Structure 1
Amino acid sequence: MTNEATLPLEAEASASAGLSRTALLYGIIGGSLLTVVSAFLAWTWTAEFPGDLTYYGSPAPIQFVSLAGAVLTLLYALSALGVKGLGWLAPTGSRKAIEFLAVGNFLATGFTVVSITVVLGGVVHLEPGAYVAFVGSLIPALLSLKLPDDSHKAAPAKKLPSWAEILIIVAVFALGLYVVTYGIDTDDKEPQLFVAYLITVGSAALALLKSGLLDRFSAITAKNRQVTLIGSAAAAITFPFIQQSGDTYTLIAVNILIFATVALGLNVVVGLAGLLDLGYVAFLGVGAYAAALVSGSTASAFGFQLPFWAAVIVGALASLIFGVVIGAPTLRLRGDYLAIVTLGFGEIFRIAMGNLDGTSGPDVTNGPNGIPNIPHLELFGWNFGESHNVGGIVLGAYANYYFLMLLVMALVILVFARAGNSRIGRAWVAIREDETAAEAMGINGFKVKLIAFALGATLAGLAGTVQAHVNSTVVPENYVFAGPVPPNSAFLLAAVILGGMGTIRGPILGAALLFLIPAKLAFLQDYQLLAFGIALILLMRFRPEGLIANKRAQLEYHDEETTDQAPADLATAKAGA
């Protein structure tokens, strides 16, 4: 029985805790407002720092990033206070979201202030705006760590009319397109801006995930699949039309699409069938070399030119044949032995392409010099090497290849989705989970694995045919196990693991991050592999299932956290498998 004398004390303690939480939130709001104000002040008096932070009333791009982080922190703090109209921001609680946003904004802002000091040579180069920004971002970061946990199960979402859900989807895709374009378009001469952008976007993504808002949006997209697909396609098609710098950054987008397409092909082998392939980039090279040899290059040993559709078929078939030839004798191996053999195949391919120079072997690939001068594609009278005026907007050559790669990726996604949900796809998953048990149930393990290997090789060869024309040259050094420039086998495998094995969106996200970050942070090239290794260690520690994982993987890696809801989640995972 509860002692009545203790009730006033409990009420007083509760009121004190509530007051403390309210005071903390007001402090976070105050600090966020200071950061907002600082974005309109000068942070340094000299224009020598990249981005020119000397203006009052007009935030520079890096100040705009700090401003965006502060506004998000402010909104979530107001939501935690119970401000009417903002409760939808945190269906499962706002404490973790505020912490991620506040700490992330402090890291981004503090990084900028420290960069100014280091680049210009001392704190004397800081203007008052930089001090205001540093202190203003530090206050919410410290106070957010003291907030009591308010995590709770999300209440049922309010039912919205169809038109409102469609508007939400359109708005989110438009905002996502703007955020992605902002990151890709950052000036390569301003690496500090891209680092601050990465920190802010990463912390915002974690905040949205922890607050339950992403789950709410996923539920809306699941109810409106057709609208979601149309919105995704529209956002992707719009990208080249909003580029302010012509083809400068469209080329990055094209290479990301190529990298992501090849990663999806590898995802069939690794993510669905569970086969560790360390020489997968060789299949990309087979497709690229095959297309280069039949595309009319002046250095081609064949001396003839096929139309593009025929070159695509040649590249895909060549990769398919190599996949079967390599897979047939090796897929009877398992685990580390299979990995070693595939790694050897990748190295054999690179060395062989370098030796087919007419001296060490037949004159087929021009040896280490590769096959240069691959002509641009021409499809239905549309020359991919020329700029075109579409609706008054000039699209450069790489925009043509960008649209072509969108079609190729759409085809690969369709093949991956259909194969993964088919009978053979379920057999792949069974082999991945337990090959012995799968074979005991009547599955022909060797046949199933060979089909996965051949399909993955074909998809890689398909992407290789486009890559050969985009780069206009093919050389053996582009197809190594590990190197400073992706795609290579190590980065392809990392893209699948980082994004989430067995999913569609995961490898696309992983490939985009692993290509974009090295492209934007070239000054860290000497430490790229070190940073890469550290990132993988952190990923394995905190999110081993990848950034975007399916339900099954989440339950496997976090079963201790989901014991109470396991029956419901298992049913969901079974339904989505």
Structure 2
Amino acid sequence: MSPRVGGGWARLALPRLITPDLIRRSEPFAWIVALVGGALIVVAPFLPWAYDDAALDDMSVAFYPSVLQFLALALGAVIIAGTLLDRLIPRRRGSRAPGWRRGARAAATGALIYLALIMVTIALELGGLINVEPGGWLALAGAVIAFAGTRLIEPAPEPRFGELEGPAVVEILAVAAFMGAAFFAVVFALDFDDGGGFVCFVTFVGIAAAVLVRSGVMAWYSGVSSRRRPVLVTAAILAAILFPFTQGTSDANLSIATQVIIFAMTALGLNIVVGLAGLLDLGYVAFLGAGAYVAAMLSQSAFATIDVQPPFPVVMLISGCVSATFGLIIGSPTLRVSGDYLAIVTLAFGEIFRIAVLNLDGISGPDLTHGPNGIPAIPDLDPLGYDFGNPPPFLGIFAPLPRFANYYFLLLLILLFVVLVVTRLNNSRIGRGWIAIREDEKAAEAMGVNTFGLKLFAFAGGAFLAGLAGSVKAHHDISINPGQYMFLESAFLLSAVVLGGMGTVVGVLVGATLLKLAPEKLRDFAELRLLLFGVLLVVMMRFRPEGMVPSRRRQLEFHEEDEELAEKLDEGEPVPAEGART
């Protein structure tokens, strides 16, 4: 059996340059090349990378590495450690190799991408590659050498650590350490004021995740998190609660965090429609807008058009029910169609909602929304006389909290409720019915599944969750207008579901966080934000179409056939024509 050349990157980019015969001949010295490249990456951060301190996080000082330079150093250390451990620690014949070699290879590929991105960012921010100092070029050269060296080493078989069990204390500490690292990464990313630095840091986080996956550590952690789920959930909730206390009195980051939660709640509702039931909805933002407008019209604003101010919990229920009613209205006549026709109908509904809101201005129709002016001056929530515009005094004893802390804790509570509802639905008979409809509606109907009723319930349930999010969004944003609910927002919501992982809760939360956080941090690249978004979509759809945190079912759907074909080719078996991709 001939050795495989490696992962998708190698098979795609270097199918003729790196052959099995070349790997066999270069094996004795390839590991030395990888070590040399890793050593250059470790040494380079102690030299200046940029001519001016205005680029990224000040890489212009010798012997004083910045944070982004330290991250490059960490990748170099992983390359060295993985290569040495794989070379020096023998293993018995026939046993599965640990993931050191695979981890070193992933780190070398990631270092090349990361350092090339840093060089490009320095050139963009300072006005040309001439501003890149020798230390930067040395680091990039080390990454190229390490990449070549690790590619010339025969790939190791995939490690399988998922079934390994350790002491309970070790597993609990591992869960806590992982959540602590994730919490620190989020806080650190929010503190980046430089858009280029934010992109580089997020890229490093993605590379670190890829190294953990390729080395088998993530498979082991997945098994640990499954066994220690209560600890994982507790740690996640605790980290979310502690986040406002890390922001001091700064409103900016906490305002972004509250917007991320609103976006994530809405995306979870869309996940029911698209990810579970398989119904493509391109006008979903209309349900969010319906909930927001209902809350604004029932608020105590001087511009509110309905002279009724019920308690806010009642307003939330009314907003959710109005959005769910819209879901039923649009769903009843249109769910008889599917595919592209359903997408066109939902897109039209989103535009109809926006145009209707524009026309309810007292001239073209009744004065309910004030037309293009919207409803401004929406006051802060004041349930039981407690003003949400002031930080909670009983929580600010040790550190003052920003203004949006009250909204953050309220939204966090609602998000936990939404996650609980979506998780329960996903694992229930209704959720299995939605998945059956998504896979094959005709087969599901033949097996007795009430396809129309379940699809209608998916539309109404997802719309209700969007209405809940909209009711809080109106008070959080202080004012609302039709421009906030355009088609582009629906596209971003759909992208969050697809990029994160359709049908999963954690994946949608990750996708929503990334897509809502990135535009806020890339305001320096206002003209390039949509371009970067498009590049991200293309890269993800090519190399990870199942999403960042996919469900097991979706992962098998996208990759099972490729793995089977690769194994047959390795073993020299004939591949039938119908098994080949066209």
TM-score greater than 0.5 by the shorter chain: yes
* Residues 491-530 of structure 1 aligned to structure 2 (within 5 Å): 491-530=492-531
- How many Å separate the matches in 2 of 1:121 and 1:283? 45
Which position in structure 1 is the counterpart of 2:424? 418
Structure 1 unaligned spans of 5+: 1-13, 85-89, 483-487, 567-577
Task: Give how far 1:47 is off.
Answer: 3.0
Partner letter of residue 332 of structure 1?
A: R
Distance, in Å, in 2 between the alignment partners of 1:364 and 1:216 is 56
2: CA distance between counterparts of 1:542 and 1:130? 28
Matched, 1:360 2:361: no
Cross-structure match for 1:255: 259
The match for 2:175 is 169
Q: Measure the CA separation in 2 of the matches of 1:565 and 1:135.
A: 32
C-alpha distance in 2 between matches for 1:104 and 1:431 = 39
Of residues 436-445 and 492-501 in structure 1, the stretch that sits farther from structure 2 once superposed is 436-445
What corresponds to 1:574 in structure 2? none
When normalised by structure 1's length, the TM-score is 0.87
2:346 pairs, out of 339, 342, 359, with 342
Q: Deviations over 1:139-197 (max 9, x none)?
A: 2233222221012342675431111111111111111111122222211xx22212221
What code does the residue aligned with 1:174 have? G
- Structure-1 separation of matches of 2:209 and 2:97: 15
Moved more, 436-445 or 363-372: 436-445
User: TM-score, structure 2 length as denominator?
Assistant: 0.86
Kindly tell me: are residues 495 and 359 of structure 1, through their superposed partners in 2, closer, same or farther at Cα, counting changes over 3 Å? Answer: same
Give the superposed CA RMSD: 2.7
Instruction: Return the match for 1:331 from 332, 335, 354.
Output: 335
Question: Would the aligned equivalents of 1:269 and 1:275 in 2 still touch at CA under 8 Å?
Answer: yes
Q: Deviations over 1:126-150 (max 9, x none)?
A: 4443343333333223322222101
User: Are 1:546 and 2:547 counterparts?
Assistant: yes
Cα distance in 2 for partners of 1:271, 1:17 equals 42
Instruction: Tell whether the 8 Å contact from 1:43 to 1:127 is kept in structure 2 after alignment.
Output: yes
* 1:369 paired to 2:370: no
Structure 2 equivalent of residue 431 of structure 1: 437
Distance 1:271 1:168, change over 3 A: same
Distance 1:152-1:211 versus aligned 2 partners, 3 A rule: same
Aligned to 2:140: 134
* Structure 1: distance between partners of 2:123 and 2:526: 23
Tell me the distance in 2 between the aligned counterparts of 1:152 and 1:209: 10
Instruction: Tell me how far 1:62 sits from its aligned partner.
Output: 2.9
- Code of the residue aligned with 2:389 in structure 1: it is G
- Classify 1:124/1:493 alpha carbon distance in 2 versus 1 (closer, same or farther; 3 Å): closer
Shift of 1:22: 6.3
Contact 1:377 1:469 in 2 (8 A): yes
Which of 400, 406, 431 does residue 412 from structure 2 map onto? 406
Distance 1:344 1:122 in 2: 46
The answer to whether the 8 A contact 2:273-2:280 is kept is yes
Q: 1:184 to 1:115 in 2, by over 3 A?
A: same
8 Å CA contact 1:555–1:562 kept in 2: the answer is no
Report the residue type matching 1:218 in the other structure.
S
Q: Secondary structure at the match of 1:508?
A: helix
Distance 1:50 1:502 in 2: 37
- 1:108: Cα distance to partner? 2.3
Correspondences of 1:289-300 after superposition (within 5 Å): 289-300=293-304
The residue type paired with residue 31 of structure 2 is L
Residues 65, 196 of structure 1: 8 Å contact kept: no
- Asked whether the equivalents of residues 91 and 155 of structure 1 are also in contact (C-alpha less than 8 Å), the reply is no
2:245 paired residue number: 241
Name the counterpart of 2:557. Answer: 556
Q: Residues 519-557 of structure 1: CA distance to partner in whole angstroms, max 9, x if unpaired?
A: 222344434444434433333332222222222222222
Q: Quick check: 537-546 or 202-211, which moved more?
A: 537-546
Aligned with 1:211 (options 215, 233, 238):
215
CA contact (8 A) 2:271 2:502 kept: yes
Q: 1:22 to 1:201 in 2, by over 3 A?
A: farther
Distance 1:35 1:425, change over 3 A: same
Q: Deviations over 1:376-422 (max 9, x none)?
A: 12245542212345241111122222222211111111111111222
Take 1:128 and 1:544, find their aligned partners in 2: how far apart are those partners? 38
SS of 1:505 mapped into structure 2: helix
Which position in structure 2 is the counterpart of 1:471? 477
Aligned position for 1:571: none
The question of whether the paired residues in 2 share the 8 Å contact of 1:92 and 1:210 is answered with no
Using a 3 Å threshold, how does the CA distance of structure 1 residues 300 and 17 change in structure 2: closer, same or farther? closer
Does the CA contact (< 8 Å) of 1:94 and 1:151 recur in 2?
Answer: no
1:193 to 197, 209, 223: 197
Structure 2 CA distance for aligned equivalents of residues 251 and 21 of structure 1: 54
Identical columns (%) = 44
- After alignment, is 334-343 or 555-564 more displaced? 555-564
1:462 and 2:468 are equivalent in the alignment: yes
Task: Indicate how the Cα distance of structure 1 residues 61 and 243 shifts in structure 2: closer, same or farther if over 3 A, else same.
Answer: farther
| Cα deviation code 1:51-110 (max 9, x no counterpart) | 3333344322332332333333344334433569xxxxx975334432332222233223
Gaps of 5+ in 2: 1-19, 91-95, 568-582
Count of residues in Structure 1 that have an aligned counterpart in Structure 2? 540
**Partners of 1:242 and 1:458 in 2: CA distance:** 33
Amino acid at match of 1:99: R
| Residue of structure 1 equivalent to 2:17 | none
Q: How far does residue 215 in structure 1 lie from its aligned partner after superposition?
A: 1.0
d(CA) in 2 for partners of 1:18 and 1:429?
A: 47
Whole-Å separation in 1 of the counterparts to 2:260 and 2:36:
41
- Tell me: CA distance 1:564–1:117, structure 2 relative to 1, closer, same or farther (3 Å): closer
Change (3 A) 1:83 1:200: farther
What's 1:58 paired with? 64
CA 158–530 in structure 1, closer or farther in 2 if over 3 Å, else same: closer
How far apart, in 1, do the equivalents of 2:197 and 2:374 lie?
Answer: 37
CA distance in 1, matches of 2:552, 2:56: 44
1:464: how far off? 0.7
With over 3 angstroms needed to count, the CA separation of the structure-2 counterparts of 1:304 and 1:48, relative to structure 1, is same
1:148 aligns with 2:154: yes
For the residue of structure 2 that corresponds to 1:29, the secondary structure is: helix
C-alpha separation in 2, matches of 1:419 and 1:129: 54
Distance 1:302 1:156 in 2: 58
Shift in Å, 1:121: 4.4
3-state SS in 1 of match to 2:65: coil
CA distance in 1, matches of 2:543, 2:51: 42
Name the residue aligned to 1:81.
87
Gap change, CA 1:121 and 1:436, over 3 Å in 2 = closer
Alignment partner, residue 302 of structure 1: 306
Deviates more, 1:151-160 or 1:354-363: 151-160
Are the equivalent residues in 2 in contact too, given 1:295–1:307 (CA < 8 A)?
no
In 2, the alpha carbon distance for the partners of 1:344 and 1:301 equals: 27
